Amino acid sequence: MIRKIDRYLLSRFIISLFIAVGAIILVALIVDGVENLENIVDNAATVQDVLLYYVYFIPWIYKITIPASVLLAGLFSIGLLARNNEILAMKSVGISLYRIALPLLIFTFFLSLANFYFNEEILPYTTKERNRIKHGGVKKKESRKGSVLYNLSKQGSGGYIYHFETFRPGRREAHNCLVQRFESDTLKESYRGDKMIFDRGFWTMYDGSYRNFADSQESYIKFDSLPLSDCRERPEEFEKYRGKPEDMGYRELEGYIEILKKTGAPYTRELVDLKTKLSFPFTCFIVMFICIPVASNPRRSGVAMSFAIVSGVSLTYFVIFKVTQSLGYSGNLSPDVAAWSINIIFCAIGLLMFFTARK
């Protein structure tokens, strides 16, 4: 009998989850479509580009809304059981609230693990494709000649790592430049200059200095201009859209942080985002501890009440998350505390509600 009840609870919850995810994604697509309608018309974007753009947009919507969808699905499915006195009937035959909640908690735990895999393997690709289409026609693209990229870091071939404070793709020039060459994580050469220009197939650095660490003693040379014939990366390689840290996969962002460390660039913000990639997927599991005791009470169930609870919890989560994230970015909180504190707070509240609810 217990297994039948587990399957019954899971089926009701999964159906509600599919409906919640689908409804939220549909609303988000409609809102974004209305906002971008003028850009789509002005750029004469093709139907194929528009459709592909929104197909690749769906995974990003899913990523940021799945915790709210889980909470909404739980409130609807469990709340409906409570209003029909099915929860009361289960308790009357000796099934505690803990046992009722067990299959839902197990499911959302594995859903959290699946979300981490989704964010690592699927989302980075779809986000890059979405931004490629976005910059290529769906939205107005900034003039290439006047565009400027800031704090650009890139790992090139031959062990070279580049860091530009500013890079102008249209002019093929970078300012406040640092170029380093590593061998097996050991720094061998370092070039630092005020400006780099790509002309006639190679880079030239101006008003800079060169340090060589290959020998037992460091050598230092100042120069007015120096051709960097071994730096084979073309300006187009630096112009490629890397994406924001929150849009990268865990491994990709971890590698990017290593590049920033080697070049001496600041990486606190990126490290906070890296830790958040581990903590955020488990929000789906944590919110169930809040959802189950609230939804199992018939007096607290109902469509209006469910929407009110989801809105309140989501808003509170967003506000606290932004506060802790900002404190992490500024260095007032360690990256681990900034990333995990929101989950710890909600987990404590959820466990308190869960273990004090009527069994």
Check the CA dihedral 120-121-125-127 and report its sign.
Answer: negative
The pLDDT assigned to 279 comes to: 93
Percent of the chain with pLDDT over 90: 45
Which residue pairs from 302-305 have beta carbons closer than 8 angstroms and sit at least 24 positions apart in sequence? 302/79, 302/83, 303/76, 305/75, 305/79
The H-assigned helical ranges of the chain are: 2-42, 47-83, 86-92, 97-121, 123-133, 235-239, 250-263, 268-279, 283-295, 303-330, 335-356
Residue 301: predicted pLDDT: 57
Whole-angstrom Cα distance, residue 356 to residue 308? Answer: 22
The token pair at 82 is 């409570």
Tell me what pLDDT residue 46 has: 82
pLDDT band at 144 (very low <50, low <70, confident <90, very high): very low
For residue 227, pLDDT over 90 is answered with yes
Rg of the chain over Cα atoms, rounded to whole angstroms, equals: 26
Tell which wins on pLDDT, 162 or 299.
Answer: 162
DSSP 84: T
- Compute φ and ψ for 135, nearest 5 degrees: -80, -15
Structure confidence at residue 247 (pLDDT): 79
Output DSSP code: residue 243.
-
The pLDDT, as a whole number, for residue 61 is: 95
Q: Quick count: other Cβ atoms within 10 Å of Cβ 151?
A: 13
Mean pLDDT score, 167-181? 91
Residue 42: its pLDDT value, please?
73
- Give, in degrees to the nearest 5, the angle at Cα 337 between 336 and 338: 90
pTM for the structure as a whole: 0.77
DSSP line for 285-331: HHHHHHHHHHHTSGGG-SHHHHHHHHHHHHHHHHHHHHHHHHHHHHT
pLDDT band of residue 82 (cuts 50, 70, 90) is confident
Report pLDDT for 1. 64
Taking only the tens place, the pLDDT of each residue in 254-276 is: 888 888 887 777 889 999 999 99
Measured distance CA(157)–CA(180) in Å, rounded: 11
Average pLDDT, the chain: 86
CB 282 within 8 Å of CB 343: yes
How would DSSP label each residue in 247-283? Answer: GS-HHHHHHHHHHHHHHT---HHHHHHHHHHHHGGGH
